[in-house]
Chain A
Amino acid sequence: MTWINAVVQGLFLGGLYALFACGLSLIFGVMRIINLAHGDLAVAGAFLIWTINSQFGLNPFVALLPALPIMLVVGYVLHRTVLARSLRGGALIPLLTTFGLSIVIQNALLQGYSPDVRSLGAAAGDWTTGSWRLTDQLSVPYIGVCTLAVACLVLGGLQLLLRRTAFGREMRATAQDADTAALVGIPAASIYARATAIAVGTATLAGAFLAVHSTFDASSGPTQLIFAFEAVIIGGIGSLWGTLAGGVVLGVAQTVGAAIDPQYSILAGHLVFLIVLAGPRGRSLITRSAPA
Chain B
Amino acid sequence: MSITAPTPPAAGHAWTISRSDRTTRAASAGLVVLGLLLFAVPFGFRTNVVQQLTSLFILLILAVMWNALAGYGGMVSVGQQAFIGFGAYTTIFLTQHGVTTYLAVALAPVASGVLAVALAPLVLRLRGGQFAVGTWVVAEALALLVALDKGLGGGTGASLRGLSGIEPDLRRAFTYWLTLAFMLSLLVAVVVLLRHRTGIALQAIRDDEDAAASLGVRTAPLKFGLYVLAGIGCGAAGALTLANSLFIQPQSIFGVQWTAYMLFMVLVGGLGTFEGPVIGAVLYFALQNQFAEQGAWYLIGLGAIAVAFALFLPRGLWSLASDRLNLRLLPVGYNLLHRTGRSAGSSAQAPDGGTSSRGESTS
Chain A residues close to B by CB (< 8 Å) = 28, 32-34, 36, 82, 85-86, 89-97, 99-104, 106-108, 110-111, 222, 225-226, 229-230, 233, 263, 266-267, 270-271, 273-274, 277-278, 282-283, 285-286, 289-291
**B65: shortest Cβ distance to chain A, in Å?**
16
A34 engages B130 (CB within 8 Å): yes
**A78: shortest Cβ distance to chain B, in Å?**
11
Interface of A is mostly: helix
A282–B213 CA distance with the chains assembled, in angstroms: 20
Other-chain residue from B129, B302, B355 in contact with A28 (beta carbon distance below 8 A): B129
A67–B15 CA distance with the chains assembled, in angstroms: 62
- Measured CB to CB, the nearest residue on chain B to A282 is B125
A104 engages B303 (CB within 8 Å): yes
- Measured CB to CB, the nearest residue on chain B to A96 is B310
A233 engages B354 (CB within 8 Å): no
**A279: shortest Cβ distance to chain B, in Å?**
10
B306 CB-CB contact with A under 8 Å: yes
Other-chain residue from A96, A229, A233, A286 in contact with B306 (beta carbon distance below 8 A): A96
A277 engages B125 (CB within 8 Å): yes
- Measured CB to CB, the nearest residue on chain B to A233 is B130
Chain B residues lying within 8 Å of A36, measured Cβ to Cβ, are 78, 129, 132-133
* CB-CB contacts below 8 Å: B249-293 with A: 256, 259-260, 263, 267, 271
A89–B206 CA distance with the chains assembled, in angstroms: 13
Chain A residues lying within 8 Å of B310, measured Cβ to Cβ, are 86, 89, 93, 96-97, 100
Shortest Cβ-Cβ A-B pairs, 9 listed: A34-B129, A103-B303, A100-B306, A104-B303, A100-B307, A270-B141, A111-B296, A107-B299, A107-B296
B122 engages A278 (CB within 8 Å): yes
B296 engages A267 (CB within 8 Å): no
Chain B residues lying within 8 Å of A271, measured Cβ to Cβ, are 141
A290–B128 CA distance with the chains assembled, in angstroms: 10
**Given the interface contacts A103-B260, A104-B303, does A93 sit within 8 Å of B129 by beta carbon?**
no
Max chain B Cβ within 10 angstroms of own Cβ: one of A103, A106, A107, A273: A103
B311 engages A222 (CB within 8 Å): no
- Measured CB to CB, the nearest residue on chain A to B207 is A90
A226 engages B140 (CB within 8 Å): yes
A93 engages B130 (CB within 8 Å): no
B296 engages A110 (CB within 8 Å): yes
- Count residues on chain B whose CB falls below 8 Å from chain A CBs: 51
B210 engages A92 (CB within 8 Å): no
Max chain B Cβ within 10 angstroms of own Cβ: one of A104, A225, A271, A289: A104
Q: Beyond A34-B133, A89-B314, A100-B306: 18 further Cβ-contacts under 8 Å?
A: A89-B311, A92-B76, A95-B128, A100-B303, A100-B304, A101-B303, A103-B299, A104-B300, A104-B304, A104-B307, A106-B299, A111-B295, A225-B133, A226-B140, A229-B133, A270-B144, A289-B210, A291-B130
A107–B295 CA distance with the chains assembled, in angstroms: 9
What number of A-B contacts does a CB cutoff of 8 Å give?
A: 149
**A111: shortest Cβ distance to chain B, in Å?**
4
B148 CB-CB contact with A under 8 Å: yes
Interface of B is mostly: helix
Chain B residues lying within 8 Å of A102, measured Cβ to Cβ, are 303
Chain B residues lying within 8 Å of A108, measured Cβ to Cβ, are 296, 300
B307 engages A90 (CB within 8 Å): no
**B227: shortest Cβ distance to chain A, in Å?**
14
**Given the interface contacts A107-B299, A270-B137, A277-B134, does A92 sit within 8 Å of B306 by beta carbon?**
no
B167 CB-CB contact with A under 8 Å: no
**Given the interface contacts A274-B141, A277-B122, does A111 sit within 8 Å of B303 by beta carbon?**
no
A283 engages B311 (CB within 8 Å): no
B141 engages A111 (CB within 8 Å): no
A85–B206 CA distance with the chains assembled, in angstroms: 19
- Measured CB to CB, the nearest residue on chain A to B308 is A100
A96–B264 CA distance with the chains assembled, in angstroms: 9
Proximity string of chain B (183-210) to chain A, C-beta cutoff 8 Å, 1 when within and 0 when not: 0000000000000000000000011001
B307 engages A101 (CB within 8 Å): yes
Proximity string of chain B (324-358) to chain A, C-beta cutoff 8 Å, 1 when within and 0 when not: 00000000000000000000000000001011000
A285–B128 CA distance with the chains assembled, in angstroms: 12
**A17: shortest Cβ distance to chain B, in Å?**
14
Chain B residues lying within 8 Å of A28, measured Cβ to Cβ, are 129
Chain B residues lying within 8 Å of A285, measured Cβ to Cβ, are 125-127, 130
B138 CB-CB contact with A under 8 Å: yes
Chain A residues lying within 8 Å of B207, measured Cβ to Cβ, are 90
**Given the interface contacts A99-B263, A229-B133, does A91 sit within 8 Å of B74 by beta carbon?**
yes
- Measured CB to CB, the nearest residue on chain A to B124 is A286
A233–B355 CA distance with the chains assembled, in angstroms: 29
Chain B residues lying within 8 Å of A33, measured Cβ to Cβ, are 128-129
B318 CB-CB contact with A under 8 Å: no
Max chain B Cβ within 10 angstroms of own Cβ: one of A90, A99, A285: A99
Other-chain residue from A89, A222, A267 in contact with B144 (beta carbon distance below 8 A): A267
B297 CB-CB contact with A under 8 Å: yes
